[in-house]
Structure formats: structure tokens, C-alpha cells
Amino acid sequence: MRGRTVYAYALALGALLLLTAFAFAVGRFPLAPGELAALAANKLFGAGYAVAPTAETVVMQVRGPRILAALLVGAALAAAGTAYQGMFRNPLVSPDILGVSAGAALGAVLGIFFSQSALVIQLGAFAGGLAAVAVVYAVGANVRRHDPILALILAGIVIGTLLGSMIALLKYLADPYNQLPAITYWLLGSLAAVAPADIALAAPFALAGLVPLYLLRWRMNLLSLSDDEARALGVPVGRLRFAVVCAATLMTAAAVAISGIIGWIGLLIPHAARLLIGPEFSRLLPLSMVLGAAFLLAVDTLSRTIAPIEVPPGVLTALIGTPFFLWLFAVSRRTWQQ
């Protein structure tokens, strides 16, 4: 077990570092080979090489924030997906199950519909995501006669669908010339427009969710037991679930606010990590985060380099992620049930 763990972590972290270096080196803006090295030397070791200002802007203001955003969003979505799959004891669960993406989408679409600035649109997305989950949680918690897990999932599906129909209505009413294209592009998800200010805004909230979840990672194992068992072992199950939902929602809402809706990461990455390292949460969560960050970074790098125009990352995550996952599933001995 130990050997396998170390191996998996080494592989994942190595891949992440390589990908990050690679992501800095490629892009549609042509950089002379020495420029990147010179810049790295300047920033990391305080050297004083001359670097063209535009090159510096490209690396520090454009590629850097975008890479950071990809790592943050990928880690956040993967962590949220892992937490929810454990909490709901269901392999088909993604971070959207409680409606955070639908709520964030509605918030953003409303912002676009009322022709607001980019900042207001982001804040709308964040607030919308939190509000949606708050409503779902309130509904789920007040339905006393049913299994609390089932109540949450059903409330999430119902409210998510309701929000989806409101979004469809707004798309219908939107000005087809100016608002509709903006709405469509937001819903497709993209890291193209990430500015350093966006990260400064989203990172605290994402971390506010990631850090508690990371600290609680061993305790999360107990949510895989039945409620009675967990309580008998001394776990306040209701409170723990609430904490997990809060953390996952903060992370996901912050991520969606800056990137739009990028699917599949929260669903597939936890599975891939589980196939590599097993379900024990204190090992699973960090690996999930690393894999999620690496995966989204890879996808986003492709998204911004293969053509002059952006390819929506949600399309790429599905195209790349699904065959990769199937391969991993086929070569691995472990499955969800084994």
C-alpha cells in the first residue's frame, strides 16, 4: 500500500510540474527561446537580464494568471467532486449535484442580461452559486421523513432544473445581437478572460473551502459509513455534512465564477484518483487535487494553443477525459466495488 501511494503521488506531482513548465513555454504569442529562461532567472533568482516588456507582460500577466487559474479551478472542482462522491456514497455524483453550477450560471446570465461589467457578472455568479445551494440545503434539511442524503440529491436535481429553465428563459428574452453571444460563451466555460484581479478575488474563497476540507480529510472517511455507524463512532454526522457542503460550495462557486461551467473534472478525476490510490480519503483528496489541477492545465493549454480562437475547455475535458478514463478503468485492478 505504501509503495503504491508513493508511486502515485510521485507520478502526479511530476506530471503537474512538467505540465506547468510546459504551459509557461507554449502559447500563441511567439517568445524567443532565451526570453523565457531569462525571465525565469530574473524572477526566481533576481538576475538582471533584459527582457522585452511585452514578453514579460505575456508571461507574467497573461500566461501566469491563466495557469494559476487552471490549477486552482482544476483542484477545486476535483476536490469538491471527491468530497461529494464520498459523502453521497455515489460514483455518479459531481460537484453540480446540489445546484451550485446552475445557480452560478443564473447569476452570471442575469449579469449579462442587464449589461453589467465583468466584475459584476463574476460576483453574480458567485452569489448565485451560494444562494442555490443554500436553498437546496434548506429544502433538503426540512424534508424530515426521508433519508437525508436522498432528500439533498432530489432537492438539488429539482432546484437545478428550475434554475436551468430560468436560464433558458433569459436566453430566449436576451437581445440576440449583444447579450446572447455573451451568454452562450459564458455557459461554455473558458479561462480566456482571467485577469490577475480575478484570481485575487476568487482564490481566498476557493482556499476558504479547500483548507477546511483538507484538514477534515481523515474524518471524511466516516461519511462512507451509515449514519448510525458514524454517530456511534462519535461523529456528528449532520454537522460534518454541513461543513463539507459549505466547503465544496465555496470552492465550486469561486471556480465557476472565474471560469464558467467546465464539466467532467469533478466527476472523472475522483474516479481516476480512486483507481490509482483507493478510497481512503486522507490519501485520496490530495491526489485528486493534484490530478484535477494537472488535467485542467493540460486541457486549457490545448484550448489556447491549438487554434487562433479558443476551443471551449468543457468540450476538451469530455473528449480527452472520457477515453483516458476508460483506459485507466480497463488497466486497473481496482474498481468502485472491489
Partner 1 sequence: MPGLRFALPIAALLFAPAAFAQAPREMLDAAGRYVRVPAKVERVYAAGPPASILVYAINPDKLLGWTRALRADEAPFFPARYAALPELGRLTGRGNTANVEVLLKARPDLVVDVGATAPTFASLADRVQQQTGLPYLLLDGRFGAIPETLRALGHAMGDTASAGRLADWCERAIAEVAARVAQVPAEKRPRAYYGRGPHGLQTALGGSINAEVMEFLGAKNVAGAMSGGLAVASMEQVLAWDPEVIFTNDPHFYRAVGGDARWRAIAAVRSKRVHLSPHLPFGWFDFPPGANRIIGLYWAGKILYPELFRDDLRAKTTEFYRLFYHQEPGAAQLDALLGEPGVMPR
Partner 2 sequence: MAAVIEARALGYGYPDRPVGRDLGLELAAGDVLCVLGPNGGGKTTLFRTLLGLLPAQAGTVLLEGQALAAMPRGAIARRLGYVPQGHAAQFAFTVSEAVLMGRTAHVGLFAAPGAADREAAERAIRTLGIGELAARAVTELSGGERQLAMIARALAQGARALVLDEPTASLDFGNQVRVLREIRRLAAEGYAIVFSTHDPGQAFLAASRVLLLAQGGALRQGTPAEVITAENLRAVYGVEVRVDTVAGMRVCTPVL
Residues that bind partner 1 (CB under 8 A): 27-30, 53-54, 57-58, 61-63, 66, 112, 115-118, 121, 172, 174-178, 180-182, 185, 190, 192-193, 195-196, 304, 307-310
What is the number of alpha carbons within 13 Å of residue 20 lying toward its C-beta?
18
- State the helix-helix crossing angle for 237-259 and 196-215, rounded to 10 degrees: 160
Site string for partner 2, 251-280 (x = CB under 8 A): ---------------------------xxx
CB distance 48 to 224 below 8 Å: no
Q: Give the integer Cα–Cα distance in Å for 272 and 250.
A: 24
Among 17, 119, 233, 326, binds partner 2 (CB under 8 A): 233
The type of residue at 251 is M
**88-127: contacts with partner 2 (CB under 8 A):** 89
Among 3, 30, 33, 337, binds partner 2 (CB under 8 A): 337
CA 156 to mean position of chain CA atoms: 18
Of 24 and 325, nearer to partner 1 (C-beta) is 24
DSSP 214-280: HHTTTGGGGGGS-HHHHHHTT--HHHHHHHHHHHHHHHHHHHHHHH----SHHHHHHHHHHHHH-S-
Task: Verify binding: residue 229, partner 2, rule CB under 8 A.
Answer: yes
The distance of closest approach from Cβ of residue 65 to partner 1 in the complex, given in angstroms and rounded to an integer, is 9
Q: Which three cell numbers stand for residue 184?
A: 452562450
The distance of closest approach from Cβ of residue 51 to partner 1 in the complex, given in angstroms and rounded to an integer, is 13
Site string for partner 2, 55-94 (x = CB under 8 A): ----------------------------------x-----
The distance of closest approach from Cβ of residue 102 to partner 1 in the complex, given in angstroms and rounded to an integer, is 21
Q: Give the integer Cα–Cα distance in Å for 280 and 323.
A: 25
The distance of closest approach from Cβ of residue 82 to partner 2 in the complex, given in angstroms and rounded to an integer, is 13
Of 195, 187, 210, 201, give the one whose Cα is nearest residue 293: 210
Task: Name the site residues for partner 2 (rule: CB under 8 A).
Answer: 1, 89, 215-219, 221-222, 224-226, 228-229, 231-236, 278-280, 282, 334, 336-338
